[in-house]
Chain A
Amino acid sequence: MSAEIENPVLEIHDLTVTYSKKPVLWDVDMTIPKGSLAGIIGPNGAGKSTLIKSIMGLVPIASGYIKIFDKDLKEVRKNVSYVPQRGSVDWDFPASVVDVVMMGRYGHLGFFNYPKKADKEVALDALRKVGMDAYKNRQISELSGGQQQRVFLARAIAQQADIYFMDEPFAGVDAATERAIISLLKELADKGKTIVVVHHDLQTAPNYFDWMVLLNTRLVAHGPTQEVFNDENLKETYGGKLTLLSEISKLLENKRFPAREAK
């Protein structure tokens, strides 16, 4: 099941991604409309992070293409923001909260340029939006998990992008932070920004997102939440129907066949 929409801000066509020949995403075709708050849902190891990383050009893709605002990532990079999983960085790194948020401005600066006053104001404003302005000079190692996530979010806001990709922003954060983050994301979406969030809590998912992508190696369904978030699709996403596919994956890995013929 899939949805055709006009003028999607994100269009993925026939995407296949492999890690040392083992397919992790298989033939993914999907679109996301402008201004949506979209959830990418699926079990552990479904390839959710890989999907976002391939959109951001962080992992090589075996086949297919990805268009953002109908263009290649390279042309629209300044309008795209990526929030990695919180656990992917070393929080003992010698940096303060504002140092990290300032990194959100680096994409606009280019080589040999250092942040100007205007950049600092953008960074401080972003910190205010996530309620962390009181912590701006705090060492990042002294932050709680929820605060770390807010800092990552502030860095993304400082990028002043039009589309945001966030990997598990709610993992390991307290309830208050989760509420604060989701209302901030809704606010951004209301302003016409597009937010794509990897999420794995099925309880909260339908309340948070107006668009959903159900994923388990292949795309199970995507579309407006009320159309795709149903028992049948969830069973297919989380159930054991994919044994054949996973066995073929393993075969490919062991035999080292290419998943796609070389062009």
Chain B
Amino acid sequence: MESLLEFFSFSDHNVQSVVIGSIWLTASCAIVGTFSFLKKRTLVGDAVAHSVLPGVCLAFILSGSKNPLYLIPGAFLTGWLSLVLIDKIVAHSKIKEDTAIGLILSVFFGLGILALTYIQHTDYANQSGLDHFLFGKAASIVREDLLIFSVIAIILMISVILYFKEFMLISFDEEFAQSIGVPVRRIELLLTTLTVLAVVIGIQAVGVVLMAAMLITPAAAARFWTNDLKILMLLAALFGAFSGISGAYVSYTAPAMPTGPWIVVILSTIAILSFLFAPTKGTLFRLLKQVKIKRKIKDENTLKTMFYMGEELSSFYHPMEVEEMISKRKMQKSSLEKSLLRLKKEGYLEKEKTGWVLTKAGKEKGQRIVKLHRLWEVYLTKYLNIAPDHVHDDAENIEHVITPELEERLEKLLNYPETDPHQSKIPY
């Protein structure tokens, strides 16, 4: 708790750098990653992330320094090279893109690990820390890094704002984009460059191994909450930033802990929560909706059954017993009883000593369902030439779906027929 307060008071300059740095890194990865997510280019992000490792090591060996001013160009170089090679392999051989990506990813990552091992066995003064690029270490962000990270993050965000229209267009419909004269190749190139840049700065906090998750997961989680691309990007950035702060906190309180896995665990938790609880698209919401629909159908069937019984008795307001209803329509007793109680609460039924009685509203609702059922049967036989003995099951479903507008059109179209194909009277 104390560490939490200390952390969030930002009194320590180091904490400031770590927090601000982490937010920049994770948010800009999330924003640029939105397009990787929409273009379903997950694997490419993964390949770039792994391929920056040899560049980082090479830059370190050549410069002998861990300053991002040297490491970033190195990372950028091999990250880019990997993409060019993937493109060349696909264009000039029969190897498919996913295979080429796998190939390049493992070769470059292998080279990176090799270089890392080499560095660790030589006595470079400050070699310790380079292995943080594997799994990330937010706490290693220092004040001098911050300026560079901020500049890159701002370049990334401004580019996305300026080229938003074009990025959206090539993500949705590349051929159309090309047909209206968008220089698709150049825009792709720009987007790829931005992705490489985001990866290059992002590895400080997340590490190369889990970088792909950092690019994709925020957008994937945000997709559950919105259908608007701009809001989606904002949300993704927020999710990214939140995971960044959390990662920074973990890194601050437990310096031995790598940050990347923590950031990714937090992102995944956000994604899972979104998957479960987001309105409309979330699983829980869908389940609830299904349950509601099932209940509605059950209740309408109960009223319908009571209406049928009323037709036979020539009296709709006669008390009816549960057993009678079950003999008329196969229903589970417990579920029927629940349905009856619900309908009573809604004012469609009354309970009397000798059984259940329809209220006026209940009778009308039951009547409407029966009417729709029979009208639909007429429609099917008359307009689709379906045999009368085949239409009942279809009408069983449709009767619950027809809206008042459709009901009106159906009545007009059929011109208020007297009876259905089985000669039952249609009640109006």
Contact = CB atoms under 8 A, between A and B. Distances in A.
Nearest to A20: B94
Contact of B175 (A53, A77, A103): A53
Tell me whether chain B's interface is mostly helix, strand or loop, or mixed: helix
A94 B178 contact: no
B227 A103 contact: no
B385 interface: no
A74 B227 CA distance: 34
Contacts, number: 66
A208 B120 CA distance: 74
Nearest to A91: B172
Contact of B171 (A93, A100, A111): A93
A84 B162 contact: no
Contact of B169 (A82, A103, A114): A103
Kindly state the interface size class of chain B when it binds its partner: 20 to 34
A183 to B, nearest CB: 22
Contacts of B229: 94-95, 99
B166 A80 contact: no
Contacts of B171: 93
Interface string B165-209: 110110111011011111000000000000000000000000000
B181 A107 contact: yes
B43 to A, nearest CB: 17
Contact of B179 (A56, A89, A100, A114): A56
Which interface class (under 10, 10 to 19, 20 to 34, 35 or more) fits A?
20 to 34
Contact of A58 (B178, B181, B226): B178
22 contacts: A56-B178, A58-B178, A80-B179, A82-B176, A82-B179, A88-B175, A89-B172, A89-B173, A90-B40, A90-B172, A94-B38, A94-B223, A94-B226, A94-B227, A94-B228, A95-B227, A111-B162, A111-B163, A112-B162, A139-B227, A141-B227, A155-B176
Interface of A: 53, 56-58, 74, 77, 80-82, 84, 88-90, 93-96, 99-100, 103, 106-107, 109, 111-112, 114, 139, 141, 155, 159
Given A84-B175, A103-B172, 12 more contacts: A57-B178, A58-B179, A77-B181, A88-B175, A90-B40, A94-B227, A95-B172, A107-B181, A109-B165, A111-B163, A112-B162, A139-B227
